[in-house]
Structure 1
């Protein structure tokens, strides 16, 4: 009988913890990044985990399609999709945060959220590298 993979993996919890730390530091050091409570920061970290997983999946799929494209039109469509995904994902995260939390959580503007996402992805990679096979 095949083993069922748990709904929440250890690596997912490690990602959320890394995101929570980064978001907490952003709230502390950047005045335009606001979270009204620790609970909202935790929920924002979980929301960011979900959103970044979906965005990362979409970008990987688009890159796969670009590499496998056998016509100029297919390549252009894949490149156009990437061009829309890169800045569009930042706007999607800003909109999603506003939609879910209203004014209780603000991630700053486009450039602040871009820097935040870069730092989140770097912290995620660092945590995964440190914990490596233990996850």
Structure 2
């Protein structure tokens, strides 16, 4: 009985997925260093360490964002929706400043992710690239086809 291929990736393989994420982050970060003058990393080693730090920080940010989105979707009253919406907005905007401050505290002037716009573009590029690579590397799962 022939089946169809389900393109949905299986759950990530823990450490292997984390290593792949870091490699993707290093590539994207270095492309930003090359093409965005405000994004600076003095050495490749610092780019690698920045990618590791970004991996950890973005995992926390994504978890907090998911929780804020859950609060928004589960709110029943208009006031609850507004409050949760403001919380979600605050997380989305505040996370960029959190990333900038964390990088500045850890690396000082040796690494700079620019300002709000460049770090927003960088984070979007990191997350989209990670998603694309994970989907490319995910094993295809078979879905039972129609009987017949």
Establish whether TM, by shorter chain, passes 0.5. yes
State how far apart, in whole Å, the 2-side matches of 1:125 and 1:39 are. Answer: 24
Displacement of 1:66: 1.3
Q: TM-score, normalised by structure 2?
A: 0.81
Structure 2 partner of 1:95: 101
Structure 1 partner of 2:87: 81
Matched, 1:72 2:70: no
State how far apart, in whole Å, the 2-side matches of 1:47 and 1:119 are. Answer: 16
Aligned Cα root-mean-square deviation (Å): 1.3
Q: Contact conserved, 2:113 with 2:119, CA < 8 A, in 1? A: yes
Displacement of 1:27: 1.1
Structure 1 partner of 2:131: 125
Displacement of 1:62: 1.0
Alignment coverage as a number of residue pairs: 127
Structure 2 partner of 1:31: 37
Matched, 1:57 2:87: no
State how far apart, in whole Å, the 2-side matches of 1:24 and 1:116 are. Answer: 11
Displacement of 1:76: 2.0
Of structures 1 and 2, the larger Rg is shown by 2
Gaps of 5+ in 1: 1-7
State how far apart, in whole Å, the 2-side matches of 1:22 and 1:63 are. Answer: 27
Gaps of 5+ in 2: 1-13, 141-148
